[in-house]
Structure 1
Amino acid sequence: MKAIKIIICYIFVTSSVFGQKRQIDTLNAPPAVLPGVFADPHIAALNNKFYIYPTTDGTVGWMSTYFTCWSSPDLVNWKNEGVILDLPKDLSWAKERAWAPAIAEKGGKYYYYYSADVNIGVAVSDKPTGPFKDPLGKPLVAKGSRRGQMIDPMVFVDDDGAAYLYFGQGQCNVVKLNDDMISYDSTKMISFKPDGYNEGSFVFKRNGKYYLMWSEYDTRDPRYSVAYAVADAPMGPFTKATLNPILKGKGVVKGAGHHSVVKVPGKDEWYIVYHRFKIPDGNGYNRETCISPMRFDKEGNILPVDVFERVKPVTIRVKKNKMAMSALNKNDHKTVKNN
């Protein structure tokens, strides 16, 4: 009888990380990294810190009216930096449905892209923590301008400084932004739909390859998951990988999706940030933000993410300029002598 109870209470699956097999308790997931209900997290490494920009969750129909920012020195301990954009106060063209933001940095400015009342907007700040101001007084991409919903923006800045805006539900849209980061040539926008694509596109570059990732199914569906494709150029064409999805729920984890990815500066070390149904009793309107390591095989394929693997503290190492440090040391020495 005792053996039966043990089997009922604990369900184990086998996972392989770097060739080593381990057992996973699928009834006990790591805690969420942000307190409360937050979804659609966009993560970035900026100014020697990590930042998460999420959707504020917890209302039927996703009726949030503001955005917050969270900072961390190590991916484990997170600080609430407060409200960085309040739709009723800061916008003249939208008041609710504050969804799925993203951040990009260029020329010392921070550009915040977001969904508002099913339009895509952009705001600008001198700091990653805001406050952000609307430079246009109107949407960057207005509802109805393309097929599907105008939501889930993401901007990828390439090595040459060129920036590309990805967005859309039902199909993926991409266009190269102008140098000002707040305008584009709509005649050069392309649209396509990878097999299984629904929403939440995200792009990054590794070893010369461009990875387009997206969420499949609906965010209210426990099967919500993340897949990806690869291309040789930021606007494609993209070829969907054979091994998909690379992120999905298992056991107590439901609806794992709408993600973003961050690389630890100076290292080939990657993490994926995503939401899942709140544990316990969560659903598509009550989701929480999580982080898991993300790895690649020798061919550059993304390996399946273990949603039960805990993240250890990660430090961004600051490279010190030797010449500057030498000058600083000389000045310090002179100061000591003068005193």
Structure 2
Amino acid sequence: MMINTTYTKGLLALIAGVMLSGSVNAQVVDTLNAPPPVLKGVYADPNITVFGKRFYIYPTTDGTEGWLSTSFTCWSSPNLVDWKNEGVILDLPRDLTWAKERAWAPTIAFKNNKYYYYYSANVNIGVAVSDKPTGPFKDPLGKPLIPKGTRPGQTIDPMVFVDDDGAAYLYWGQGQCNVAKLNEDMVSLDTSKIISFKPTGYNEGPFVIKRKGIYYLMWSEYDTRDPRYSIAYATSASPMGPFKKAAGFPVLKGKGVVKGAGHHSVVQVPGKDEWYIAYHRFKIPDGDGYNRETCISPMRFDAQGHILPVNVFEKVKAVSIKK
């Protein structure tokens, strides 16, 4: 039988090309190996921010069924890669008279030359104050800032956004999103002026950023115990809405070995249009909704200002703050 050498060479080249392409694609879509968590241990609901020349993460201490943690820690880093545990900054049994457990999902803001720390405690929202981002924090009210039952849904997951004009807004809520403008003292607000709404798919964990005049409200969909837990967003011309949900797939979701990726926060590198998203995922291996770990991934925008899908397998490189 006569063999067509030209055809054979072409076929071999095609096979080699397919194999090479498959090898490259396998590297790109490898979902079996995820970057390690940035914090050692099980921590969830990370609130990432920057003060001065350091990044900070304020998380929920995880590892108990029912999320019965009783204290909060702070972590700091000069570069987003190397993180130092700054210790306990607020201990509920020691520092509060109105709640002893369920210390969840904190956030922090700087104003009036002080640091204001907002947190969930026994399904209420409290506020604490310190002169340093690493605490210790003290309760200035002796009671919740927003007691449970103030609005429908769970009174959890606070987030504070300070706008360019210095006005501060508090967002919170599981089951529906609530927003109210904080008073200048940062420890009070007018509950009669709370705006409540529920974007399609919204469950919990609201977080707001502002970029090029656009306000982005981001949130978690599904339940934190659900492997489908993910992040979506909406945009507005005002910090109090109305917000229009972005079309398409979630901004962040698990894939392969990464499950339950959500309850996030976002930080901008000072002086740059460079953004990073912190979030938790089920601990790898053998994690679940009570054993979660904190991760960081780059977050990018397209030319139209849409948030691009986050690659949970992209490893964060060291970032320097030039400020």
- The answer, yes or no, to whether TM exceeds 0.5 is yes
SS of structure 2 residue aligned to 1:114? strand
The question of 1:306 aligning with 2:311 is answered yes
Q: Equivalent pairs: percent with the same residue? A: 77
Q: How many residues align?
A: 302
- Within 2, Cα distance between the matches of 1:186 and 1:291? 34
- Within 2, Cα distance between the matches of 1:147 and 1:113? 20
The question of 1:206 aligning with 2:199 is answered no
The question of 1:63 aligning with 2:68 is answered yes
Trace 1:1-339 onto structure 2 (pairs within 5 A): 23-318=28-323
- Within 1, Cα distance between the matches of 2:24 and 2:54? 35
Paired AA for residue 145 in structure 1? T
**How big is each residue's C-alpha offset from its partner over 1:257-287, in whole Å with a ceiling of 9 and x where there is no partner?**
0000000000000000000000000000000
SS of structure 1 residue aligned to 2:29? strand
Gap runs ≥5 in structure 1: 1-10, 16-21, 319-339
Paired AA for residue 155 in structure 1? V
User: Are the equivalent residues in 2 in contact too, given 1:260–1:272 (CA < 8 A)?
Assistant: yes
- Within 2, Cα distance between the matches of 1:167 and 1:179? 19
1:244 CA displacement = 3.1
Gap runs ≥5 in structure 2: 1-21
1:24 CA displacement = 2.7
1:13 CA displacement = 9.5
- Within 2, Cα distance between the matches of 1:149 and 1:27? 35
- Within 2, Cα distance between the matches of 1:243 and 1:83? 40
- Within 1, Cα distance between the matches of 2:211 and 2:24? 31
1:243 CA displacement = 2.6
Paired AA for residue 36 in structure 1? G
Instruction: Return 216-225 or 236-245, whichever deviates more.
Output: 236-245
User: Are the equivalent residues in 2 in contact too, given 1:13–1:26 (CA < 8 A)?
Assistant: no
- Within 1, Cα distance between the matches of 2:249 and 2:290? 25
User: Are the equivalent residues in 2 in contact too, given 1:13–1:25 (CA < 8 A)?
Assistant: no
Paired AA for residue 150 in structure 1? T
User: Are the equivalent residues in 2 in contact too, given 1:122–1:182 (CA < 8 A)?
Assistant: yes
**How big is each residue's C-alpha offset from its partner over 1:258-317, in whole Å with a ceiling of 9 and x where there is no partner?**
000000000000000000000000000000000000000000000000000000000100
User: Are the equivalent residues in 2 in contact too, given 1:70–1:81 (CA < 8 A)?
Assistant: yes
Match in the other structure for 2:15:
none
Match in the other structure for 1:323:
none
Paired AA for residue 93 in structure 2? P
SS of structure 2 residue aligned to 1:25? coil
- Within 2, Cα distance between the matches of 1:224 and 1:179? 35
Residues 277 and 12 of structure 1: is their aligned pair in 2 closer, same or farther, counting only changes over 3 Å?
farther
- Within 2, Cα distance between the matches of 1:24 and 1:295? 19
- TM-score of the two chains, using structure 1 as the length reference: 0.88
Match in the other structure for 1:329:
none
**How big is each residue's C-alpha offset from its partner over 1:121-155, in whole Å with a ceiling of 9 and x where there is no partner?**
00000000000000000000001111000000000
Paired AA for residue 158 in structure 2? P
User: Are the equivalent residues in 2 in contact too, given 1:12–1:24 (CA < 8 A)?
Assistant: no
1:12 CA displacement = 8.5
Instruction: Please identify runs of 4+ aligned residues in structure 1 that moved more than 3 A.
Output: 11-15
Residues 123 and 241 of structure 1: is their aligned pair in 2 closer, same or farther, counting only changes over 3 Å?
same
Match in the other structure for 2:4:
none
**How big is each residue's C-alpha offset from its partner over 1:304-334, in whole Å with a ceiling of 9 and x where there is no partner?**
000000000001002xxxxxxxxxxxxxxxx
- Within 2, Cα distance between the matches of 1:225 and 1:287? 14
1:227 CA displacement = 0.2
- Within 1, Cα distance between the matches of 2:121 and 2:138? 14
- Within 2, Cα distance between the matches of 1:192 and 1:316? 37
- Within 2, Cα distance between the matches of 1:298 and 1:174? 29
